[in-house]
Amino acid sequence: MKNLYIILVCTLFCCCLASCGSTQKVESKGESNFTLGVRAMESNDYTAAADYLEKAVKEKPNDWEPLVKLGDTYVKLNRPENAKEAYTKVTQIVAKQSENENAKVSLPLLLAGGQAHLYLQDYYKAFYCFREAVKKKSSDYDANWGAGYCKFQLEVYQEAKLFFEVCHELQPENLDVMFYLARSTQKAERGVTKKVVEWYEKNAVAGPKEASLYLGDIYRHSDYANRAMEQYEHYLSKGGTLDKHTAEWLEQQKAKIAEQGKKENAATVAKMADNTVVETAPVKTAPVKETLKVCPKCGRLGDKNAEICEFDGETLSELK
């Protein structure tokens, strides 16, 4: 009886396998390895995706689309050398088509070439691809983002800012765009505008932890000590590390607040009208949120104790 049960289970299992295999063949019938590879990527099955896409590349070695997807898959699989090889082949295809005066390089191919050069950290060639893509379609988000990122890496911040501004118009709530737009604007212009502060503030809540660090630096150098402390503490809570000078400054500010708390406790005890011994809870002094001052004309952030904008002489007003 036991042997009969085992045979029955094995028979059913084999039938299931045959059924699954039959179903897979029906689903795969007529579908290319490229399509199956993309589907595997969408399912986060990157091992299977690599297998399909490698076959697709062998079938069409001069087709850039499987190569791009294969490079993306290798990145996910943490195979940098393989990814580099795939992306290099993409750049070669772009270069070959660009050399042919009669050939028109498509927008998707230019974006793929830009992406490939970015991975290879060749920002000059990547920018060329993205710039040509912008020429083809000025409102393309990926083209403007790529061009802006290349210029940012090349430290040409004024130009980077222009591309990121287009991205911001296209996707006004995108935190990544706000972050790089804030960084580019801060580095390109003298002084920090209220928009830069706003972009950093939004990123400090839900974006990269570095936003809190940069915002803390801005507040500290403008004498908004309490705001700076708040941002540095937030940065540390997210796993950030402060340099020695900044860490020492933060500890000094904490010591000042602790000392102020002791004085307030002593003052509370001294004001007691009777001689009754009363247990008093220590007063915890928290930093008071400071009101920012900005120039109504240029929008630049003014120092905490300043009254006049150092850039255009306008009287500073409080930023509500």
Task: Report pLDDT digits (tens) over 106-154.
Answer: 999 999 999 999 999 999 999 999 999 999 999 999 999 999 999 999 9
Distance CA 144, CA 14 (A): 54
Q: What is the pLDDT of residues 36-68, one digit of tens each?
A: 999 999 999 999 999 999 999 999 999 999 999
Confidence (pTM): 0.79
3-state secondary structure 205-270: HHCCCHHHHHHHHHHHHCCCHHHHHHHHHHHHHCCCCCCHHHHHHHHHHHHHHHHHHHHHHHHHHH
Assess contact for 75 and 119: CB atoms under 8 A: yes
To the nearest whole percent, how much of the chain has pLDDT over 90? 68
Q: What is the pLDDT of residues 244-296, one digit of tens each?
A: 999 999 999 999 888 876 666 666 655 654 555 455 555 555 567 789 999 88
pLDDT at 5: 33
Helix, strand, coil shares of the chain as percentages rounded to 5?
Answer: 70, 5, 30
pLDDT at 188: 92
